[in-house]
């Protein structure tokens, strides 16, 4: 937020549709800090889900694979994450702020597999942890409990404008989106994310004359409902990566990255 502006200025995006609730992920201590959706933890015990935290100040839990951090300690943290969740395999992609998704349908090989050029992953395989890298962008969790299928998307403003939310819903549920559950995880809030008029235009919002905050998660929530997901099955994290604590924030000056993680337990 710039000096003089107020959090109320973050209402340029439409308010959350009526039945959409905010939830607060709770943090886990231990070798791999993970903030999990408290309702999903009860409703879907067969899932591993959440967003990693920034960890200790003296030893940040940076999982970014494409930044400046030495790769050895980063891969050790990845291993700690997989082992704490008891997942033999994980998949990650070098993200490009697009809307292309990849489905992982074959038996996963143990370890971490890295692909390129995707901003979303789908799977029905147990034991494969889907991951997306975020630090202000939104980790978007989609669950089909009946089919036991999951998707995890990376949604910044570009991917949101490119329709990644609708694409993920379509790939998950075809003509039956009402059965999906969606959660929009820790990300920069509608008070902190000041952007230019071109971003508002790209998101289909009223176009301001100067830089104005936008709530990307509110836009995504509206897109999910417009795509046919039941509003009462959509939740939005209370956490802001920038004005809150516990997470890396690109706008806040952090180089580190947390991971949204979602997988069907082995």
Comparing CB distances to Zn ion, the nearer of 167 and 242 is: 242
Q: How far apart are CA 213 and CA 191, in angstroms?
A: 6
Distances (CA, A) of 159 to 1, 35, 112, 153: 23, 24, 24, 9
Nearer to Zn ion, 26 or 245 (CB): 245
Smallest gap from residue 240 Cβ to Zn ion (A): 3
Rg from Cα positions in the chain: 17
| Shortest spacing between CB 105 and Zn ion, in angstroms | 38
- Residues of this chain that interact with Zn ion (CB under 5 A) are 189, 192, 240, 242-243
| CA–CA distance, 39 with 247 (Å, rounded to integer) | 21
Integer Cα distance of 216 and 38 in angstroms: 22
Phi, then psi, of 81 in degrees rounded to 5? -65, -50
Compute the least distance from the CB of residue 80 to Zn ion, in Å: 28
Q: Is 61 within 8 Å of 84 (Cβ atoms)?
A: no
- Smaller CB separation from Zn ion, 143 or 240: 240
Q: How far is the CB of 8 from Zn ion (least distance, A)?
A: 13
Between residues 89 and 240, which has the closer beta carbon with respect to Zn ion? 240
* Residue number, 192 or 216, with CB nearest to Zn ion: 192
Q: Shortest Cβ distance from residue 239 to Zn ion (Å)? A: 9
User: In 10 A of CB 190, how many CB atoms?
Assistant: 23
């Amino acid at each position: 937020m710039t000096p003089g502006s107020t959090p109320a200025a973050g209402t340029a995006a439409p308010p959350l549709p009526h039945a959409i609730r905010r939830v607060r992920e709770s943090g886990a201590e231990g070798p791999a800090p993970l903030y999990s959706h408290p309702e999903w933890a009860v409703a879907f015990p067969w899932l591993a889900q959440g967003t990693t935290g920034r960890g200790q100040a003296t030893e940040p839990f940076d999982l970014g694979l494409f930044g400046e951090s030495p790769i050895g300690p980063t891969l050790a943290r990845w291993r700690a994450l997989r082992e704490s969740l008891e997942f033999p395999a994980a998949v990650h992609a070098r993200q490009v702020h697009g809307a292309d998704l990849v489905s992982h349908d074959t038996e996963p090989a143990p370890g971490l597999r890295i692909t390129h050029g995707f901003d979303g992953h789908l799977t029905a395989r147990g034991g494969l942890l889907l991951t997306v890298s975020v630090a202000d962008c939104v980790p978007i969790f989609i669950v089909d409990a009946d089919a036991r299928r999951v998707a995890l998307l990376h949604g910044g403003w570009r991917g949101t404008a490119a329709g990644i939310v609708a694409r993920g819903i379509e790939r998950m549920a075809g003509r039956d989106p009402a059965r999906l559950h969606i959660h929009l995880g820790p990300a920069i809030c509608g008070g902190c994310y000041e952007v230019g008029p071109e971003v508002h235009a790209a998101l289909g919002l009223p176009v301001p004359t100067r830089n104005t905050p936008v709530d990307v998660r509110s836009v995504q929530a509206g897109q999910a409902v417009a795509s046919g997901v039941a509003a009462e099955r959509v939740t939005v994290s209370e956490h802001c990566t920038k004005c809150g604590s516990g997470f890396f924030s690109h706008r806040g000056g952090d180089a580190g990255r947390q991971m949204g993680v979602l997988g069907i337990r082995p």
